[in-house]
Amino acid sequence: MDSWKKKIQQGNRLVLFQGDITKVAADAIVNAANSSLLGGGGVDGAIHRAGGPAILEACKEIRARQGSCPTGEAVVTPAGNLPAKYVIHTVGPVWQSGDRDEPELLANCYRNSLKLAVAHGAKTVAFPNISTGVYSYPKDKAAEVAIRTVSTFLAQDSFLDYIIFVVFDKENYNIYQQLINKDKR
Ligand code: ADP
């Protein structure tokens, strides 16, 4: 059994999993998109490659309706060939100096993605480490924002079953593990 499934059985709503988010069969997986919604590199490229053209088609329809997606906002599409039901595309902030509202904008990504998930009846949501790739947000600072924002949301929510933080690299895994364990003490 996948390690994250074991943790759910233990009644933990915050789950840490190291691997490829395109393989995660959550109700919704979150994409670290760019504001064009037309795909890019990193996790965005991986999601579009694995999910097939249906995701891009849906993104184009959203663009035709509302234009680009502002930083911190989120939109939802079907998940094409992925095992998830939905992809929630959110646009993380590009790290500049830390005093351009980056923490608030990153928190908005997590909050708005979770709101959208609940609105679509998604009970399990998987997040990548938004903004910590090409957008250069320091990994430790981004993890603090992610865990704090998701924990606060969960504390006020009784609909969601669990949230999976999908980390791709060992460095992020160690950062998340330390922070999640600290919160439990
Ligand atoms: P951003 O532009 O928001 O920084 P990136 O895609 O460059 O987005 O990186 C965000 C995070 O996603 C990084 O920590 C990167 O290691 C991770 N990542 C890349 N590919 C995958 C994947 N297939 N599954 C999960 N995480 C991934």
Its ipTM equals 0.98
pLDDT of residue 6: 55
* Minimum CA distance residue for ligand 1 atom 16: 168
Distance between Cα 31 and ligand 1 center (Å): 9
Per annotation, catalytic residue among 2, 20, 27, 44: 44
Paired strand residues for 166: 17
pLDDT of residue 181: 82
pLDDT of residue 1: 54
Sheet holding 162-167, edge to edge: 14-18, 162-167, 124-127, 28-33, 86-91, 74-78
For a substitution probing ligand 1, which of 43, 94, 175 has the most ligand atoms within 8 Å of its CB? 43
pLDDT of residue 143: 98
pLDDT of residue 9: 47
Calculate the alpha carbon distances from 35 to 1, 31, 183 in Å.
Answer: 37, 12, 33
Burial readout 28-40 (b: 16 or more C-beta within 10 A, e: otherwise): bbbbbbbeebebb
* pTM over the 0.90 mark: yes
- Rounded distance between C-alpha atoms, residue 105 and residue 103, angstroms: 5
For a substitution probing ligand 1, which of 73, 139, 168 has the most ligand atoms within 8 Å of its CB? 168
Residue-wise pLDDT for 67-88, tens only, equals 999 999 999 999 999 999 999 9
Residue-wise pLDDT for 89-146, tens only, equals 999 999 999 899 999 999 999 999 999 999 999 999 999 999 999 999 999 999 999 9
Phi, psi dihedral angles at 124 (to 5 degrees): -125, 130
pLDDT confidence tier of residue 10, bands split at 50, 70 and 90? very low
Distance between Cα 91 and ligand 1 center (Å): 12
- Rounded distance between C-alpha atoms, residue 68 and residue 7, angstroms: 37
pLDDT of residue 185: 52
Residue-wise pLDDT for 12-37, tens only, equals 799 999 999 999 999 999 999 999 99
pLDDT of residue 19: 97
44 annotated active-site: yes
- Rounded distance between C-alpha atoms, residue 161 and residue 12, angstroms: 9
pLDDT of residue 44: 98
- Rounded distance between C-alpha atoms, residue 29 and residue 86, angstroms: 6
- Going along the chain from its start, the domains and CATH numbers come out as 37-184 (3.40.220.10)
Distance between Cα 152 and ligand 1 center (Å): 23
Where is 165: in which H helix or E strand? strand 162-167
